[in-house]
Structure 1
Amino acid sequence: MLIGLLFLTLFFLVFIALIFYLSYFLKIHLPANESKLIFDFQKKPKEEHAKIKKIGQKAYVFCSHQKEFKNTDSSYAGYEDCHLFKKHHASEMPCSWACIGFGSCIPHCPQEAISIVNKTAVIHDNCDGCGICIDICPNNVIQLIPNNNDYVVACSSQDGENTHCSKACTGCELCINHLYYSGFKMKEQLAVSDYISNPSKSDYAEKCPQNTIIKIAFPRKNDFKFLAFWYTIKNIMSKKNNEN
């Protein structure tokens, strides 16, 4: 009996020492709410699901309006329709996963909650989550997400390290904690969020080399008027420089 207690005590001390070593010497950040292991990703508490349902949803474009491409040469000068371009000129896009940017979703939005900024659709705060735009987008970059204070991986690319986009997820997995649940997982070569608020996600957002992980935000429409004008002028100047 005594030997059993001694063995159990020794095992407990070794376990504590191992945790101490991992936490301090290897500097692995283990927030209090990251108690679930990575293989428990699908097992979310029922109360967290309930919170998402109560918060409601809005459409989100998984493509950054701040993106820049290394190669933006395109000879397309035809009718600006996303479906038409996708069908006949998809190979001209520097990223086949990106928002095409012709705004085919705009006339279908009953809330007039979509603008085009830097050839990218942007959803505004008056979106009511009807989801009509999701079926309109030929590249499937629009999805419904919880309207909460969480973080999102604002990208749809599966190109990984071969991407030409300045804001694309490269699949580096720096946001994936292989020991404990981080709130992110890999979907092929793209990181995705679980949309459940987690204080540690801000740390992973800072680690992202492409700044692809951002806080969920739905701007007011008026906030983007000047920005849209600026990108329009910038694109015109860029075309003139290419012609010269």
Structure 2
Amino acid sequence: MSAHLDPSWSDGGRSRTENELTAAIAHEICQPLLGISSNAAAGLRWLQRDTPNLEEAVAALQDIRAGCERVASIVKALQALARQSPLRPFPTCIDDIIGEVLSLVAPALAKRNVTLDTALDARRIIPADPIQIHQLLFNLITNALEAMSEARCTGGRIRITSATLAGVVEVCVDDNGPGIPAERRQQIFTAFYTTKRSGLGMGLAICKSVVEAHHGSLFAETSDIGGARIRFHLPATCQVS
């Protein structure tokens, strides 16, 4: 099994692919770079106080280091997709990766007063590329946050569920935002298609590439909490080619 871009990404030749990769990188690293800048400013403030708070400054530096590592992992994953590099599947617990991503996005959830509900029960270990699955989940949660922000939703809510079904692991990311009209549910996974004023339309296209590289399936649906549901299946076993 090889990682690959959506077939539409290659239309127009090499320059189009390079342009799309550039846009994807800009889209994906924007948030962690903003976090690095914010933590650097906070660290300086703690150090410049009349009585410097070294503990808080060290915490800010640790967050900066984590942000830098995050940017590096994002670029690495995008490069692998663009080069059609083979996946590096490892025994992976989806619930563990969900937990890691939720720790990363917790500040954004708190800042926007978004309630998070989880019901994680995908206990089966599956072969998957953990970096790419991490990026997939991060994109889906970020997409839900951005959709609610664009619609100026109050009382925002995100629900993440996971389960082991017959031969697959299923993950659902629900929000109570504006939802996705039925006629747009296939378009949203196309590169450069976006309904957001400031969006580049790359996040969900990358999600599609990651899921398909794992021989999985990705669906856009209506959520029972009032907005959109993005659901994906990953096979519990996979063949690497």
TM-score (norm 1): 0.25
Bigger Rg over Cα: 1
Q: Which has the higher helix share?
A: 2
TM-score (norm 2): 0.26
